[in-house]
A and B are shown apart, each in its own frame.
Chain A
Amino acid sequence: MTQRTPFIIVIFLLGKSLFAQTGVMQVVSKKIESSFHYQPGYEVNIEGHNAEILIETWDKDQIVTKIEFIAKHPDVKTAKVDVEKINHLASRIKNKIYLRNYIPEKYDKPQAILKVRYQIKLPKECPVYVKNHYGKIELSNLSNRLRVNTAFTSVNLDQISGLIDINTRFGELLGVDLSGKTAIDSRRSDINLVNVQGELNIAAHYGTINIEAHPLLRLLKLEADMADVNIYTPKPQLVAYQFVATGTKVQLPPEVEGKIQTSSPNHELIQEPHQWNYLPQGYKSLFDISINFSDLKIATLKKLIRP
């Protein structure tokens, strides 16, 4: 060993500790995997906090859930302690399978950055209730009953049918290929629906709402306050319309514009409450719109703009 060796070791240790403090995060992840036998009548009931929730379907009579807690901190001991501060529940009580994550108040405030992920696989006919406070939800191919209740969450729904009930505050909703009966209650959220069919009932306060309608969207009932609404439909002249509008700018497609008796010319602000209807013979779709202090545009859908 040369005389310089201890010096090199000191430099190495010093460099390593500096590096550990400034650049490297120790990542500890705890995964809880549970599986339950599915039988008709069961429901998966999720309440997430700061969570990314992914729900997919498969052809097995099994519900498999993976909940992952991730703690990141430059010091591995802190990460290990903090990952245990996230409590969870994954258990079946009667016909409900409850999944939860939460940090009990008794713990000291965690120092590590904490993340939560749910990955769930279930039969497509399994009803789902999912609530989340900040984060993300992705759901696909469900066919029975879905209830979503979120705040500060991005919700992505893909190919969902049956009864769909969504409540969103301060979030975003993207729904592609929704069919059945869909009800959306939205506050300060942006909504994008692509290729929606069946019945759609929306109550929205603030936010932007874009709807690309399938020809089989039989009923659209929309109540919007202070929102920007754009509706695209393949043949707007074959749709029946019932409008009630106040303080709103309405823009209609040329196929419909000339046929509606309105005291207020198109593109101009309708100041006072105004109501008008257009019911073409043999119509298959009805758009029942009540809108206040908003912008409403209805246009011909040329081609679906899939995200």
Chain B
Amino acid sequence: MDYRTEKNKAVLEESLKRLPNYFPAPSNWEIIEQALEQDQLIQERIPSLPRYEAPTIIWEAIESTIHPPKRLWIRRSWKYAAAASIVLLMSIWGLSALLIPRTGVHVSYAYGQELQSSSVQIANWSDDEAAFSEVLALYEGNELLKQSTAYQDAITELEELNAAREELKLISQQYNNTDAGMIRRLKSIENQRTEVVRSLVAYASF
């Protein structure tokens, strides 16, 4: 029945107003929100999932079941209309890509060439380690010297520098990084180690 032709319009309106209102429990919103968040997380994680290539035999089997469809004659005007609608859809998609902020992941690759820069060989990492051991050997058997604050401080410092050197060595080897920055940092640590070892020599012969 059309609402406009209702005879008892006022009564109907009054009855509608009296109908009770129902509100969803607040916990429902939380559940919906959690589900949405999970959906988004799944979408974000999808690109990082491993991809597996199907074995060739499957593609061959699929191919054997496909029969090329017979060519249909389409009226020329329809072709133009289809082409126009594709152009329209593409432009709407393009505009929306520009105007609506998007979230997601995009991975791309680029290939190029460059001239090899003159490679620098980092001198053998352990060339001078014998000299360090030699200096520490000066203290062997001399407990009095070894208990001194000067010796203890120097050893703590040397340990810190050795650990730093190992960290740097690891990252240089992992990433095959022998750039100037890496060599300068190594130089700085080696100079500081040298200073500590010199102070140990001076203290031992004091």
Interfacial residues, chain A to chain B (CB-CB below 8 A): 22-37, 49-50, 60-62, 72, 74, 76, 90-93, 103, 109-116, 133-134, 151-152, 154, 169-170, 188, 206
Bound CA span A168–B114, Å? 34
- A169 to chain B: which residues have CB within 8 Å? 164
CB-defined interface of B93-112 with A at 8 Å, one 1/0 digit per residue?
00000000111111111111
Pairwise interchain contact B108-A33, C-beta atoms closer than 8 A: yes
Contact-residue size bin, chain B (C-beta under 8 Å from the other chain): 35 or more
Whether B44 lies near A27 (C-beta < 8 A) is no
With beta carbons under 8 angstroms apart, the residue of B104, B109, B175, B192 that contacts A30 is: B109
B102 with A28: CB separation less than 8 A: no
Q: Which residue of the partner chain, among B48, B107, B171, contacts A50 with CB atoms under 8 Å?
A: B171
Asked, given contacts A28-B109, A32-B107, A188-B192, whether A49 binds B171 with beta carbons under 8 Å apart, the answer is yes
- Shortest CB-to-CB span from A59 to chain B, Å, is 13
Nearest first, the 5 A-B pairs at minimum CB distance are: A114-B175, A50-B175, A33-B106, A27-B112, A113-B176
Determine if B192 and A133 form an interchain contact, defined as CB atoms under 8 angstroms apart: no
Segment 107-122 of B: residues with Cβ below 8 Å from A:
107-116
State whether B116 touches A25 (Cβ < 8 A): yes
Contact: A27 with B185, CB < 8 Å?
Answer: no
Q: How far is the CA of A72 from the CA of B111 in the complex (A)?
A: 10
Overall SS of chain B's interface: mixed
Chain B neighbourhood of A154, CB < 8 A: 181
| Distance of A60 Cα from B101 Cα, bound (Å) | 9
13 contacts between A and B (CB under 8 A): A24-B113, A24-B114, A24-B115, A29-B110, A33-B108, A34-B103, A34-B104, A90-B105, A103-B175, A114-B176, A116-B175, A134-B185, A188-B164
Measured in the bound complex, the distance between the Cα atoms of B126 and A18 in whole Å is 33
Q: How far is the CA of A76 from the CA of B101 in the complex (A)?
A: 36
Q: How far is the CA of A134 from the CA of B171 in the complex (A)?
A: 8
A28-B111, A60-B101, A152-B185 given; A113·B177 CB < 8 A: yes
Q: Is B147 an interface residue (CB 8 A)?
A: no
Given known contacts A24-B113, A29-B110, A50-B171, A111 and B105 CB-to-CB distance under 8 angstroms: no
Q: Which residue of B lies closest to A32 (CB)?
A: B107
B182 at the binding interface (Cβ < 8 Å)? yes
Q: Report if A50-B174 is in contact (Cβ < 8 Å); known contacts: A61-B101, A134-B168, A188-B192.
A: yes
A208 to chain B, nearest CB (A): 12
Nearest Cβ on chain B to A30's Cβ, whole angstroms:
6
CA distance A27 to B192 in the complex (A): 36
Tell me whether B175 and A115 are in contact (CB under 8 A): yes
Contact of B167 among A33, A72, A114, A151 (CB under 8 A): A151
Say which residue of B103, B173, B178 sits within 8 Å of A37 (CB atoms).
B103
